[in-house]
Amino acid sequence: MNDLAVVLLSGGLDSATCLYTAREAGFKITAVSFDYGQRHRNELMAAANLAQIAGAEHVILPVDLRRIGGSALTSATAVPKGGDGIGKENNVPVTYVPVRNLIFLSLAYAVAETREARAIYIGINAVDYSGYPDCRPDFIASFRETAALASKAGREGRTPEIRTPLVNLSKAQIAREAMRLAVPVALTWTCYDPQTKGGFFVPCENCDACILRSRGFAEAGLALSKEEIFGAPIRSA
Amino acid sequence: MNDLAVVLLSGGLDSATCLYTAREAGFKITAVSFDYGQRHRNELMAAANLAQIAGAEHVILPVDLRRIGGSALTSATAVPKGGDGIGKENNVPVTYVPVRNLIFLSLAYAVAETREARAIYIGINAVDYSGYPDCRPDFIASFRETAALASKAGREGRTPEIRTPLVNLSKAQIAREAMRLAVPVALTWTCYDPQTKGGFFVPCENCDACILRSRGFAEAGLALSKEEIFGAPIRSA
C-alpha cells in the first residue's frame, strides 16, 4: 500500500470535484477515464486537461460498450431534452448504460490492485441524480464486498478503500464544494449531447445532465459565467 | 425475458463444457469472449470454432487489460511450469489477472441485461483450480447481489440467473461431463503459453492449465489422443 488514490474521472463536474477532494486528502493520483463509445466522447479531452492541471497521472481505458448497446449514450437513440424525467421515482432513463459503474469500478479496482493504491474515489451522487441504479450507496456497499472476494488484495486483507465523497450531497452542495476546492469548472464537461459549432463541441444546455448541473449552480447562489455553468466549448479538431 | 443464455466462452475445456450444458438445457446462446491482451490470444479462435459448431451467436468484446498489467498472462512475466504451485493453500499464482472474472462477469451481465437473457453461464471451478480468488462460490454469490443492485433489471425484479454448473466438480468429473455432452474437446484451447511451430500454435503441455487439464483426463480414465488431452494445434496465420 502506498499514498496513491485511483480516481474515476469522466471529465464532468462531479468527478473533477472528486479529483480535487482526493488531492486535498494528500494522495498522489492516478485518474482513470473510459473510452466506451460514448456520444459525448469529447469529455475525455476535458478529463485529460483536468488531470494535467491537477498533476495526476491519466490512464484512458478503452472498453467499447457500443457492442453491447442498450443505452442512448452508446447508440443512435435520442437523448431526452427538457428535464421532464428527472427525479421521477423508479424512472431509469434511456441514458442508463447497463451496469456501467459496475464495469468501470471493476476496471478501476484492477488498476488500484495492481498499483497497490490505498483508495478509489468515485463521484456518484444519489441526491440530484438521473435515477441510475448504479449510483446508489447500496450498490457501492455491495461492490466493496464482491471486489474483496474477487481479488488477491482482498484475500490478503489489503483492499483499497472505496470512497464516495459526493454521494449524499445535493448538486448545489457539490457546486459549492467545487468552488471551495478551486476546481476549474469551466474546463469540465457534463453534456450528454454535444453540439458542433464552428470547430468546437458546445453543451446542448437542455439534456438532463446540463439541466442538473445548471440548477446546482443556480441553487448554490453562484453568479458564474455561462462557460462555468455548462462547461466551456472544446475544440473538435 | 426470453430463452436466451449468455455463456462466457474462453475457448477452454471448462467454458466449452458450460456452452454444451446451456445448450442441453434448451437455451439459445450468445457466447461472449474477451480479447484482453492475453498471451494465449489464440484461444479466441478456439472459442469462435466452438460457438459456430454449437450454433451459438459469438460476441468478442475487446478490453485491453495489458494497460492495467499485474499478471503473467498480460505481460512479459514468465508463466510457471511444472505445476509446483498447484493446489497450495493461499497461493495466488502470477497468472492471476486482477479481478478478471469480476470484469468479465460485469460485461457479460451488461450483454445479458440488454438482450433480456434468462441466464448467464460461467465455467468457474473451485476444486481442481489454480488458486484464483475470483473462481470461488462466495465471489459469485456476492456478485449476484451487487449486479442486481447495479442494474435496471435488478430494480425491476428480472435479473438473469448466474449459473456455475462446474463449480463443485473435479477436473476428472468435468472431463467425463465433456465427453457425455459430446464437446469437441480437441477443438478447445487451454494452454497459457502457446508455442509456435511450423505455422501453428501448439500447447506447451507444462503450464498449470495444461497440467490440470491432462490430469483431469487421466483421472477420468479416458484413453484419448494427445490432441484431445491438450487441445489440437491452431493455425497461427
The ipTM of this complex is: 0.92
In angstroms, the CA A201 to CA A192 distance is 11
Residue A147 domain boundaries? 4-182
The total domain count for chain B is: 1
The verdict on a CB contact (< 8 Å) between B70 and A113 is yes
Average pLDDT, stretch B37-61?
96
Does A155 contact B98 at a Cβ distance shorter than 8 Å? no
Average pLDDT over residues B32-50: 95
Inside any domain, residue A234 = no
Res A1 pLDDT > 80: no
Contact between chains at B114 and A101 (C-beta distance less than 8 A): no
Give chain A positions within 8 Å (CB) of B114: 68-70, 98
Q: Can you list the pairs that B190-194 forms with residues at least 24 positions away whose Cβ atoms lie under 8 Å?
A: B190/B12, B190/B13, B190/B230, B190/B231, B191/B40, B191/B230, B191/B231, B192/B39, B192/B40, B192/B72, B192/B73, B192/B79, B192/B95, B193/B39, B193/B40, B193/B79, B193/B81, B194/B39, B194/B40, B194/B42
Evaluate whether residue B196 is within a structural domain: no
pLDDT at residue B237 greater than cutoff 90? no
Q: Is B228 part of a structural domain of the chain? A: no
Domain-embedded: residue B188: no
Q: Beta A57-62 vs A28-35: how paired, if at all?
A: parallel
Tell me what pLDDT residue B87 has: 72
Contact B101, B1 (CB under 8 A): no
CATH of the domain at B167: 3.40.50.620
Q: What is the pLDDT of residue B127?
A: 80
Residue A207 lies in a domain: no
Evaluate whether residue A139 is within a structural domain: yes
- Flag whether B211 is in a domain: no
φ, ψ of residue A118 in degrees (nearest 5): -85, -25
The alpha-carbon gap from B187 to the nearest alpha carbon of chain A, in Å, equals: 26
Residue A222 lies in a domain: no
CB-based contact A70 B110, cutoff 8 Å: yes
Of A90, A97, A149, the CB nearest to B142: A149
pLDDT-derived band at B90 (thresholds 50, 70, 90) equals low
Is the pLDDT confidence value at B177 over 80?
yes
pTM for this model (two decimals): 0.94
Instruction: Choose the closest CB to A103 out of B64, B107, B114.
Output: B107
Task: Tell me what the mean pLDDT of segment B80-100 comes to.
Answer: 83
> Are A98 and B136 inside 8 Å of each other by CB?
no
pLDDT at A132 exceeding the cut of 90: no
pLDDT, tens digit (0-9, with 9 covering 90-100), for B71-83: 989 988 889 998 8
Cα distances (Å, whole numbers) of residue B184 to B6, B36, B158, B176 = 20, 25, 34, 13
User: Mean pLDDT throughout B96-114?
Assistant: 95
Whole-number pLDDT of residue B89: 61
Using the 8-state DSSP alphabet, how is residue A74 labeled? G
**Is pLDDT of B162 > 70?**
yes
Chain A residues with CB under 8 Å of a chain B CB are: 59, 61-65, 67-70, 90, 92, 96-103, 106-107, 109-111, 113-114, 133-134, 136, 138-139, 142-143, 145-147, 149-152, 154-155
- State the pLDDT confidence band at A153, using cuts at 50, 70 and 90: very high
Q: What percent of chain A has pLDDT above 90?
A: 79
